[in-house]
Structure 1
Amino acid sequence: MVRIRALTTPDQGAGDTGPGTRGNDRMATLFRWLLRLASTAIVLAVIAVALVYYLAARSLPEYDKTLAVDGIGAEIEIVRDNSAVPHIFAESDTDAFFGLGYAHAQDRLWQMILMRRTVQGRLSEVFGQRTLETDILLRRLDLYTLATRSVAAQEPQALGALRAYSAGVNARIAEINDQSLGRGAPEFFVFDAPIAPWQPADSIALVKLMALQLSGQFRDEILRARASLQLPDPDRLADILPDIPGDGTAALPSYASLVPDARMPRFAAAPERDDPLSPVPRRGLAGASNVWAAAPERSAGGGTLLANDPHLGLTAPSTWYLARLQLQEGGVIGGTIPGIPAVMLGRSQSLAWGITSSYLDDQDLHLEELNPDDPQQYRTPDGWARFTTRRSIIEIKDEAPVTVTLRWTENGPVLPGRRFGLDRITPSGHVMSLSWTALSPQDTSLSGALRLMRAQSVNEALGATGLYIAPSQMLSVIDADHIGLKLVGAMPRRDRAMQGQGRLPSPGWIAANRWQGMFPDTANPEWIDPAGGIVGNTNNKIVDRAFPDHVSFDWGDSQRVTRWTQLMQGRQVHTRDSFVEAQLDTVSPAARTLLPLIGRDLWYTGEAAPEGTPERQRQRALDLLANWNGEMNEHMPEPLIYAAWLRALQDRLIRDEIGPLADEFDRVEPLFIERVFRDVDGAGAWCDVVRSVATESCTDIARMSLDDALLWIVEHYGTALESLRWGDAHQALHRHAVLGEVPVLRYFVNIRQNTSGGDFTLQRGVSSAQEPDPFLNVHAATYRGVYDFADPDSSVFISSTGQSGHFLSRHYDDLGTLWRRGEYVPMSLDEDLARAASIGVTRLEAR
């Protein structure tokens, strides 16, 4: 038997340990300290999160309370119904507007202050270098100064409402400061900046900001000028920038011929980066909407009907804030914009009104020639004149301030040459100025909106529209017996000899190119009680007048109106529900028109291809599309295949012809595709790839484009075409303007929803057209309302997010859930109903 004896060294005693044991002790000690540190870090993190939550939650508004305030004559009650819609009851109109200002500031203070900073050109004080170009543009337009000058032009009643509203906003700001209510909104902790008191000029300025957000005519001029330099053939220019069918378009000179002796810059393309804080929309996102109305003889209930859904960029929170005010003339309820003391669309007991973007051409660009001997002068019809100038200092967070010299000509402000591609169409020795109706220092648009709220009949409402300046809108109104539709807003008077006809920048030193004042309001197109009993607008062409009485050459839609006409004329009489059905209709007339054209030589052709080959994938896609009715339903695969095909097709058609400029044509234009595949005026020439030896046919391009689209789909969604869902790609993204791109936080502040519809459906959802999510829904109906005067309190409305701008509030997105499902909330002026469903009553008492 072999015994193994433990070996020891002389200095090892009974209580000693070896090196391995000592190492284990050190590891254990290290582990204990790491555990303690980790535990401490976790505890500190929990404390930090709890502290942040506590501070953020402090700014959640309390709806059930009593507060003593200065500036009111008697008690005001703000009753929040179960959707957090405030019903404001007061003994005077001025007190009612005070209550609206207070309610807006309770729920949307950050939104209001952000919009005010935008129009003032003061974003960089908070956001730094990122927003400098936006600030420079707004300073050059000088909208806030013009708003300040417009205060004195308001009607006395409107001025009283503006002052009372401002006092209401300031009462909430004072309450936040006095009671340490978390600075009023969580964003103020992240972007610390002092809040100045609200003033009447601030509200007028926000109306001008809205005009900027809804105006796209000057960018269309820039694009047309750039395209004309690339496409000297006027027929090809007419293809890619098609006129809406109908007479009235006159021949245009080439852009280069307008300044024949000037050296034009070399063409280059560098599309601007999208910034949620920029108030200037990309092409195709300047504004849209639907509105239609039915007379009693076309209504099943015997009362008038009106439906309205204005389309704006999707944001969190929404642009709109639902509210009801009890005025001396009666109750008014509908959509308001925080910062503006008016129900912009909605109804009273006697009247309902809705708006759409009119696409009136209310902007013109002018080339201004600089004096080569004195660049402080520019050419006019009467010789050289000095610019009107003013220096403006822009403060920038964490950087030195920037001083900008603002310049104005007789035509308008000089625009920054680096923005919007202006440097690619401005010859050397020239600058570009802008004429625009919103640049009026006597802007009474807000007075018009407030007078409209008090109108009791269609005639009285349309009589108030002479006060509207900008933004121009199509206004539809109904009372119990009558319906009407009118273009409202100042309409520029142009000389018949104007060179660019408002479609191209024109030399500002030629008298015929300058505006000749404004048309009287009576010249604006108007329809009252038409024989057919239906009026409406989907941003379509409304008149067929020759220039200069044409209203516009560029309209927002040529497709939705065809579907709307079918739905309106498909019934003898309508109901509230049939109007709702039309608002939510997702059939694309563009798809129904274009698919038979582009696929006519591809359907059911060729032999069956082996599984797994591109040919087989193409055949499966064509089989699906052949049996599709054009409905852009979120649960179907066909809308995604169709949309990807059209996007790839247009890019293939134009890129070899216009190169990088194709990036500016990122939205499918159905009229262009139709012209090409019908070979209108030789438009089929776009199908041939000019840089290839072979002559490609339109069928070749259609087939190759479908393969491109399917390859893109496979890379993003896999090979199972039948399993595709349009809603997965067409998600509505309601993005928070400043926190929406912050890691982690964006999941709390942004709202994403799968949605139906598309660019050309009545339930409109415009795609972003930008990678990596080109079909993201970014522009849609942010408000829907349907008003039935057979039973006014059965009227309904909805907004796209919720009433609160606070992402910790349950009312941040609760209405958005209904909006996504196509549901509405009651739009009642019944006081008892509002109180019965109340979630809180705020009482403001005179101090």
Structure 2
Amino acid sequence: MNLRQGWTTFRQWPWAARWASYVAAGLVLALVASLVTGVVLVRKSFPQMDGEIALPGLEGDVTVVRDEHGIPQIYADTTADLMRAQGYVHAQDRFYEMDVRRHITAGRLSEMFGETTLETDKAIRTMGWRRVAERELAMLQPDTRAALEAYADGVNAYLEDHSLSEISLEYTLLRAGGLDYHLEEWSPVDSLAWLKAMAWDLRGNMDDEISRVLLSVNHTPEQVDELYPPYDFEKHAPIVGQGALVGGRYEPEATRPGSRNPARPAYTAAQVRAVASAQRGMDAVPALLGKGEGIGSNSWVVDGEHSSTGKPLLANDPHLGTSIPGIWYQVGLHCRTVSEDCPFEVSGFSFSGVPGVVIGHNADIAWGFTNLGPDVTDLYLEKLDGNTWLYDGRYRPLKTHTETIKVHDGEDFELTVRETDHGPLLSDVSKELSTVGANAEAPKGQDRGNGYAVALRWTALDPAPTADAILELNRASDWNEFRAAAADFAVPAQNLVYADREGHIGYQAPGRIPIRKSGNDGSVPVAGWLRENDWSSLTIPFDALPTLYDPKDGFVVTANQAVVDDSYPMYLTDDWDRGYRSQRIRDVIEAEGELSIDDMTALQLDDRSALADVLVPYLLDIRLPGGYRRDGQKVLARWNHEQGATSAGAAYFNVVWRNLLEATFHDEMRESLYPDGDSRWFSVVSNLLEDPANPWWDDRGTRAVEDRDEILRQALLQASDEIIRLMARDPHDWEWGRLHRLELRNQTLGTSGIDPVETLFNRDYRVGGGSSLVNATSWDAAEGYEVTSAPSMRMVVSLADFDDSRWINLTGNSGHAFHPNYTDQTELYVEGRTLPWAFSPDAVDEAEEHTLTLTPP
């Protein structure tokens, strides 16, 4: 599996591009060819936003007020009515997205899309996301279960009153293509299962764990370490720069102790093949939120002394995969009278399909998330013999069960799921099972190969009440209640930043993070037959996780960098983002001293390249032939190292960067390991620049021994030819945005291969920014310049006056193509603008464009 090539957006799902194989293209073309018919079909699924609708189960009237961007503010008298209405409104705008998500997380895509999605279903069924979610439902607090039930009732009330064509245009096209489809009712487990998808894409360092093994085949441990340089704490400050673990509790005012570093194992060829086989099995799982080091976030909070308002300001912009509709749905949930029975007065960003608000603010506090990225997964090599596996000197029986996967226009598939005590055997769902388990009894027609299998140990496969945490955050009114909510946030582990109306700010690291035994540091797959490689029965206690409250600096910055330095005795991970974004944010905050709301939003758009600061001086020292071959160097000499969409310098620099990575590393690696150009590669190349004769510079494909300057020269010349080919010979016509395009594709039909259908759903924009910049519109240097992940939303919350806050979504709130709210926010987002964030009743009334009343029947 190429984790950097196959985990970014729905467009890369192997089955999506083959959707046309079972769609009757003639029927679809006939539907969209008729203008009159097309308008009727497109508008048929648009939701009712005004007037009155009877909603079964309501205890009283619910008011849904929408602004011009279709963002609903929902007002009710009870929690049940509020959640029921949220379910109804989510279904109005996004049900197709919700339905596809629940088919993914249940391993049931093949029911909609046929055999092309079978590998995806097999992988997810093997991990058992839905089975875990079913167990979690019983663990939740009664209030959370009641909210999930009410939410599901609201979704189902919408489905009951609408035909497929009234719910979504996608269903109309799928049925025209021959899909005989009947909707099932929504259930609370459908909501919980989506949290597993969120945890999967944000789970930590599994791609690095596998890459280290594959690199070790033909490189020394020292060479591998050069590609995984240690975090530089002196250049890039960690999140928590004060305090220590004392007596099992993290004390922000204490001093600090030392850490551990277990030795890494050597691998046989058979074990490497087994890991590669498991890798291919995981490749079948599509990116749901996105994947790769570009999947991260920025969040920071400043106290009143650093704010022009005299109260805290909090900013957040999660970096996730790009799709249309986007990941987030903006909503406000308001109890008309806030009380113990109806405690919600909250606004922010939600997931369609999940009740409550995930990121945002209520009447007292605000919070933001970035991915903590701890190592919460391990791959275990298992020795098999028949239906047994070796552990601690004796063979034990595998746990097995059989699942039936229904396949549209095909035969049902019987899947045998096998597990050791470490977890499910992911290598069983690889397309290339011939390298795995020679002595094992195989399902019909499959050969087990050499006797090794690979099991996945992952914290998210242990049931936990994370759904409780979402609603607890929505209700929290102070730091203690905020931390109590964070304590229930098991997976994915996130950095939580905090601010309140009283002027306090803080940081908390939550999450279920394993404590490993002495033989396992989590950096590479380990032998499952050795007891010392197991996880302890304990996880890191919540009170031992790093925390800050009113820090001495007066601000907190989290951007996926190291949480604490290496003196922290608990192992979190070594595979942090390298801190270029976080340090840039810190530097700007320290330089500004006092920030306004406009300063905060401007910082979210900062596109200064730290890599250019290091690399460009070396590039300008290289002697090139005269004429047009030197035009690029001249552009770099005038460039300010900012990567705006119209920048010629950014265009040429990034083409050079891509060619430099190819010239330096492609000769040394299999294709799946080609550099994607993220922050780790910033560090790798920065270090190599100081060592001009390092063997990594040499091209193994030539007889000569190349050094740094020769490779830099090659990259400059190749970039000159490429940028002329892609754009123009005249540098005045070079623009970064012409290469760096934000292509928003519908999660399924947007890659159908049928041009009229793709035109219906997809949108395309030119943007600035880049990988490991604050404006993190990441791209994969192994693939091209197109955006692979981006800030999925941006928000700045003013604790002085919530109505002064700002927000923007990557796409509109609506999931209906051609609806006025389908991409209305995207246009503003691309321009770097934000929207007013109405919260108070007066502000909501002033922004009102539509009012819908939901009434009891």
Range into which the TM-score falls when normalised by the shorter chain: 0.7 to 0.9
Q: Does 1:165 align with 2:176?
A: no
Question: 1:607-627: CA deviations, max 9, x gaps?
Answer: xx5xxxxx4233211111122
Report the CA distance shift for 1:205/1:823 in structure 2 as closer, same or farther (over 3 A).
same
Q: 2:276 and 2:182 mapped to 1: Cα distance?
A: 44
Alpha carbons 2:402, 2:414 under 8 Å: kept: yes
TM-score, reference length from structure 2: 0.86
Q: Does 1:388 align with 2:399?
A: yes
Question: 1:697-732: CA deviations, max 9, x gaps?
Answer: 200110011111122212221212231010111111
Q: Give the match for residue 809 of structure 2.
A: 799
Question: 1:744-777: CA deviations, max 9, x gaps?
Answer: 2222311211111110211110114454xx1111
Q: 2:144 and 2:52 mapped to 1: Cα distance?
A: 28
1:75-114 matched pairs, under 5 angstroms? 75-114=61-100
Structure 1 position 548, deviation (Å): 6.7
Stretch deviating more after TM superposition (407-416 or 423-432): 423-432
Question: 1:551-575: CA deviations, max 9, x gaps?
Answer: 1111134311221121111122122
Structure 2 residue corresponding to 1:194, chosen from 175, 182, 190: 182
Stretch deviating more after TM superposition (512-521 or 133-142): 512-521
Alpha carbons 1:734, 1:778 under 8 Å: kept: no
Q: Give the match for residue 320 of structure 2.
A: 312
Structure 1 position 271, deviation (Å): 8.7
Report the CA distance shift for 1:121/1:181 in structure 2 as closer, same or farther (over 3 A).
closer
Structure 2 residue corresponding to 1:215, chosen from 203, 212, 215: 203
Report the CA distance shift for 1:50/1:99 in structure 2 as closer, same or farther (over 3 A).
same
Question: 1:150-187: CA deviations, max 9, x gaps?
Answer: 111111211111111111111111121xxx47240011
Letter in 2 for 1:766: S
Q: Does 1:129 align with 2:115?
A: yes
Q: Give the match for residue 374 of structure 2.
A: 360
Alpha carbons 2:356, 2:470 under 8 Å: kept: yes
Q: 1:344 and 1:728 mapped to 2: Cα distance?
A: 34
Q: SS in structure 2 opposite 1:810? A: coil
Q: Does 1:688 align with 2:698?
A: yes
Alpha carbons 1:359, 1:539 under 8 Å: kept: yes
Alpha carbons 1:675, 1:684 under 8 Å: kept: no
Letter in 2 for 1:339: G
Q: 2:547 and 2:604 mapped to 1: Cα distance?
A: 23
Alpha carbons 1:389, 1:405 under 8 Å: kept: yes
Q: 1:465 and 1:269 mapped to 2: Cα distance?
A: 33
Percent identity reads 29
Q: Give the match for residue 641 of structure 1.
A: 652
Q: Give the match for residue 514 of structure 1.
A: 534
Structure 1 position 692, deviation (Å): 3.1
Structure 1 position 475, deviation (Å): 0.7
Letter in 1 for 2:216: S
Report the CA distance shift for 1:662/1:451 in structure 2 as closer, same or farther (over 3 A).
closer
Report the CA distance shift for 1:547/1:794 in structure 2 as closer, same or farther (over 3 A).
closer
1:623-662 matched pairs, under 5 angstroms? 623-662=634-673
Q: SS in structure 2 opposite 1:79? A: strand
Q: Does 1:341 align with 2:336?
A: no
Q: Give the match for residue 351 of structure 1.
A: 365
Highest RCO, 1 vs 2 (Cα 8 Å, sep ≥ 6): 2
Q: Give the match for residue 240 of structure 2.
A: none
Q: Give the match for residue 217 of structure 2.
A: 229
Q: Give the match for residue 413 of structure 2.
A: 402
Structure 1 position 418, deviation (Å): 6.0
1:217-616 matched pairs, under 5 angstroms? 217-231=205-219, 233-246=220-233, 253=263, 255-257=265-267, 278-279=287-288, 281-285=290-294, 287-327=295-335, 328=338, 329-371=343-385, 375-381=386-392, 383-417=394-428, 419=430, 428-441=450-463, 443-480=464-501, 481-495=503-517, 497-499=518-520, 501-516=521-536, 517-545=538-566, 549-596=570-617, 598-599=618-619, 601-602=621-622, 605=623, 615-616=626-627
Letter in 2 for 1:381: D
Report the CA distance shift for 1:787/1:157 in structure 2 as closer, same or farther (over 3 A).
same
Q: Give the match for residue 11 of structure 1.
A: none
Paired residues in the alignment total: 780
The alignment's C-alpha RMSD in Å is 2.7
Q: 2:435 and 2:663 mapped to 1: Cα distance?
A: 24
Q: 1:686 and 1:425 mapped to 2: Cα distance?
A: 33
Alpha carbons 1:783, 1:798 under 8 Å: kept: yes
Letter in 1 for 2:306: R
Structure 1 position 662, deviation (Å): 4.5
TM-score, reference length from structure 1: 0.87
Q: 2:100 and 2:120 mapped to 1: Cα distance?
A: 13
Letter in 2 for 1:743: D
Q: Give the match for residue 743 of structure 1.
A: 755
Structure 1 position 47, deviation (Å): 8.4
Structure 1 position 225, deviation (Å): 0.8
Structure 1 position 522, deviation (Å): 1.0
Stretch deviating more after TM superposition (243-252 or 584-593): 243-252
Structure 2 unaligned blocks of 5 or more: 1-26, 235-257, 438-448
Q: 1:836 and 1:642 mapped to 2: Cα distance?
A: 47
Alpha carbons 1:216, 1:283 under 8 Å: kept: no
Letter in 2 for 1:344: V
Structure 1 unaligned blocks of 5 or more: 1-40, 610-614
Q: SS in structure 1 opposite 2:216? A: helix
Structure 1 position 836, deviation (Å): 3.5
Structure 1 position 486, deviation (Å): 1.3
1:674-713 matched pairs, under 5 angstroms? 674-679=686-691, 684-713=694-723
Q: Does 1:733 align with 2:754?
A: no
Q: 1:267 and 1:80 mapped to 2: Cα distance?
A: 50
Q: Give the match for residue 31 of structure 1.
A: none
Q: SS in structure 2 opposite 1:759? A: coil
Q: SS in structure 2 opposite 1:633? A: coil
Alpha carbons 2:560, 2:576 under 8 Å: kept: yes
Alpha carbons 2:289, 2:327 under 8 Å: kept: no
Q: Does 1:144 align with 2:135?
A: no
Structure 1 position 419, deviation (Å): 4.6
Report the CA distance shift for 1:58/1:267 in structure 2 as closer, same or farther (over 3 A).
closer
Q: 1:52 and 1:91 mapped to 2: Cα distance?
A: 41
Q: 1:272 and 1:139 mapped to 2: Cα distance?
A: 12
Q: 2:280 and 2:56 mapped to 1: Cα distance?
A: 51
Q: Give the match for residue 184 of structure 1.
A: 167
Structure 1 position 83, deviation (Å): 1.3
Q: 2:846 and 2:311 mapped to 1: Cα distance?
A: 28
Alpha carbons 1:594, 1:670 under 8 Å: kept: no
Letter in 2 for 1:590: L
Q: 1:420 and 1:290 mapped to 2: Cα distance?
A: 37
Report the CA distance shift for 1:768/1:662 in structure 2 as closer, same or farther (over 3 A).
closer
Q: Give the match for residue 22 of structure 1.
A: none
Letter in 1 for 2:50: D
Question: 1:500-556: CA deviations, max 9, x gaps?
Answer: x10100011211211113111112111111111010111111112369713111113
Stretch deviating more after TM superposition (242-251 or 759-768): 242-251
Q: SS in structure 1 opposite 2:716? A: helix
Q: SS in structure 1 opposite 2:425? A: coil
Structure 1 position 227, deviation (Å): 0.9
Highest Rg: 1 or 2? 1
Q: SS in structure 2 opposite 1:62? A: coil
Q: SS in structure 1 opposite 2:770? A: coil
Structure 1 position 458, deviation (Å): 2.1
Letter in 2 for 1:494: R
Q: 2:278 and 2:540 mapped to 1: Cα distance?
A: 38
